Amino acid sequence: MTDYLLDTNHASPLVTLDHPLREYVLGRFDQADTFAICTPIVTELLFGLRGLPRATRNLVEWRRLRLKFRFYATDETDAEVAAELQVSLRNKGQQLKTVDALIAAIALRYDLILLTTDKDFGAVPNLRCENWLKG
């Protein structure tokens, strides 16, 4: 069993019924893997889905799928860790957006592998990342 946190770029394709990532992720549930989302990811996801031509259909599908995922809300501890990450990386000449720093803080706190295409996460110490969308 492996525990994952879906970044927005890995969560959003799941509402597309014939997307290969959807089939792969749903199949991994059968292998006892767990998948999670967190507050910043849900915010980005809903914003993105509402801007698409098939927004209503995508939102209905997301609400159906959402029940399969663990949800982690960010709290003050996560905010502090995120700020420390940003400062530490800035001191090394690297940037990490606040939303991404919060996502990294959640992944680190709960020992989750972050599924993402975002290479900025590679600079975060001890953060394990995988990209299931690379082709």
30 assigned to some structural domain: yes
107 assigned to some structural domain: yes
41 assigned to some structural domain: yes
31 assigned to some structural domain: yes
27 assigned to some structural domain: yes
How many folded domains does the chain comprise? Answer: 1
135 assigned to some structural domain: no
Q: What is the DSSP string of 59-120?
A: HHHHHHHHTTSEEE---HHHHHHHHHHHHHHHHTT----HHHHHHHHHHHHTT-EEE---GG
Digit-coded pLDDT (tens) for 55-66: 999 999 999 999
Digit-coded pLDDT (tens) for 85-101: 999 999 999 999 999 99
Domain extent for 33:
3-130
User: pTM for the complete prediction?
Assistant: 0.95
